[in-house]
Amino acid sequence: MRLLHNPFRRTGMPDLAGLKQVPVSTDPTEPLTLLRHCPAAAPTPLRENSRLAAALNVGGVFLKDESHRMGLGSFKALGAAYVIAREAAATAGGVERLSNQATAARVLRGRVYTCASAGNHGLSVAAGARIFGAHAVIYLSHTVPEAFERRLRHQGAEIVRVAGDYETSMAAAARDAESNGWTLLSDSSWPEYVDLPARVMEGYLVMGVEVADALSVPPDHVFLQAGVGGMAAATAAMLRKRWGDAPSIIVVEPEAAPALMESIRAGEPVRTRGPKSTMGRLDCKEPSYLALAELARQADYFATIDDAPCGETVELLARHRIATTPSGAAGIAALHHAGAFRDTLDIDERSRILAFITEAPEDLS
């Protein structure tokens, strides 16, 4: 495990050429309004686990369980599907008009949404497109498991396999979206592409709202796993709005893909290199610019975790009847394997910890 104190906390990173310095929205009104009209929408549970806290030698552990969010098995159900639902409501002339299932099922007919995905984001795009009559074309790196491809096809998505890593599949999706007139709906952002990723992150605010509503006292530490960083940035922004500086926020990445940590170290976005990680949905070698800028303001520390220790945490959680993947367990894994860094992070046997289980096991979701 590696740990980096964030020198840009509160002030943010220096201005980056070509990057719009757009703060992440902390107004959850629109996503919450749309969710109220979704039959599958319901808050996910926040569970205190005293036995796990004892095993980790802390005062309390609160786990936000996103493993069954809206039937898609991941927090990402809140992102792209929200953006598509928002566009459907605008096209239909109001969210109330989508209450008629027949109307909803054809409102975006003829539209094509595309993205690159390591699995879960593509499911959100595919589900949103299917519900509102659009078509989804999802680009997958050769490293994405077949289980995710099957789930995407079940949602009606067309799959394009790309030889190369996640960043290669992202480039292919962006190129084909431009040439075919499709809507690129990425959960990452770069200087020329910020508006839709900002909306995706807006959907993730719902998790922060649900957590803050459920906890009367803020935790001492919040662990947030990150791939390109969208979920971590939106959640951190929402929790800072509700709780201020009270909790210390630690962003956790795979050691094989420390894009956010190394960008913070460099003071600018950098693309990292590394082997394939078992934390497949976090195995992103390049950060989202919007997420990076927000996390530079909001996070206190950036940490990395190796694959093997994270696998040990998955096994620990399983012994406590919590089923997830290495990606879903990465945040709590950093606490599990903090070792000597506990002193740096000011974690002791009295500390109250918040972490997120971001996805279900591939065979259970």
Lowest mean pLDDT among 18-27, 47-56, 84-93, 193-202: 18-27
How far apart are the C-alpha atoms of 227 and 117, rounded to whole Å?
11
d(CA 229, CA 253): 9
**What is the reported pLDDT for 21?**
64
CA angle 351, 293, 233 (to 5 degrees): 45
Closest by Cα among 186, 212, 351 to 284: 186
Distance (Å, rounded) from C-alpha 295 to C-alpha 234?
9
Share of the chain above pLDDT 70, in %: 97
Domains of the chain by start residue, with CATH: 2-75+202-357 (3.40.50.1100), 80-186 (3.40.50.1100)
Residue 364 pLDDT > 50: no
Mean pLDDT computed over 224-241? 97
pLDDT given for residue 365 in this prediction: 40
- Beta-carbon count within 10 A of 343 CB: 10
What's the full length of the chain, in residues?
365
Residue 191 has pLDDT above 90, yes or no: no
The 10 Å Cβ neighbour count of residue 216 is 6
pLDDT band at 214 (very low <50, low <70, confident <90, very high): very high
Cα separation values, 56 from 32, 66, 324, Å: 34, 21, 18
What pLDDT does residue 20 have? 59
Q: Which of 198, 173, 71, 205 is nearest to 130 (CA)?
A: 71
What is the reported pLDDT for 80? 92
Three-state secondary structure readout of 209-278: HHHHHHCCCCCCEEEEECCCCHHHHHHHHHHHHHHCCCCEEEEEEECCCCHHHHHHHHCCCCCCCCCCCC
State yes or no: pLDDT of 59 exceeds 50: yes
The pTM for the full model equals 0.93
**How confident is the model over 5-55, as pLDDT tens digits?**
999 999 998 876 555 566 788 999 999 998 887 777 789 999 999 999 999
| Predicted confidence (pLDDT) per residue in 234-270, tens digit | 999 999 999 999 999 999 999 999 999 999 999 999 9
Whether 232 has a pLDDT exceeding 80, the answer reads yes
Residue 233 has pLDDT above 90, yes or no: yes
pLDDT surpasses 60 at 203 = yes
Taking only the tens place, the pLDDT of each residue in 310-342 is 999 999 999 999 999 999 999 999 999 999 999
pLDDT digits (tens, 9 = 90+) for 130-153: 999 999 999 999 888 898 899 899
- Amino acid at residue number 207: M
User: With 60 as the cut, is the pLDDT of residue 226 above it?
Assistant: yes
Nearest in space to 295 (alpha carbons), one of 20, 64, 11: 11
